[in-house]
Amino acid sequence: MTVAPGASSRLAVLALGSNVGDSAATLQAALDALGATAGIRVVAVSSLYRTDPVGGPQQDDFLNAVALVDTDLGPRDLLAACQGIEAAFHRVREVRWGPRTLDVDIIALDDMIDDDPDLTLPHPRAAERAFVCIPWAEVDPDAVIPGGRAVAELVAELDRSGVSRLAAPVLRVPGGPR
């Protein structure tokens, strides 16, 4: 489902994750916060996936999802909005790849390619991460990583053993049916 953004907007792919507290509730609240942010409209959200942690210290499994958002915000403003939502959920960055209440990563923004160290687009490890590619392919089967390959092709090649789709709970698009 490739979503065409509005005339002055861009389509962004956001990866959400949590492994501290009530992760499903946190991810839904984060989606609601994104939807309540001026210049951001959540248009699709994947199922929830339970995933093994990648890198970092010993920690609990994550819940992950991918959201497609239509945004009028530029890259830095979108990053600030995502980081503001993380902060509202008490995200701390003490241990790289450590446990977190909430992670909201910008994976892609339209077809933008940028190697800015503060916001590299597309996300530099997206193509290697099953916990990003599997839910992304679910919400946009025709997705292509900017400057790269089709996400569905990557899913076929990635180790999917640490990623399992949950039947419930179900995340909802803010403002959509309950």
Residues annotated as catalytic (active site), given as ranges: 91, 100, 103, 105
The two three-digit tokens of residue 169, written as one number: 């709970």
Taking the C-alpha atoms of residue 111 and residue 113, their distance in angstroms, rounded to an integer, is 7
Taking the C-alpha atoms of residue 171 and residue 164, their distance in angstroms, rounded to an integer, is 15
Nearest residue to 158 via CA among 137, 173, 139, 140: 137
CA 3 vs CA 12, 50, 165: distances in Å:
10, 26, 23
Burial of 39 (0-12, 13-18, 19+ CB in 10 A): middle
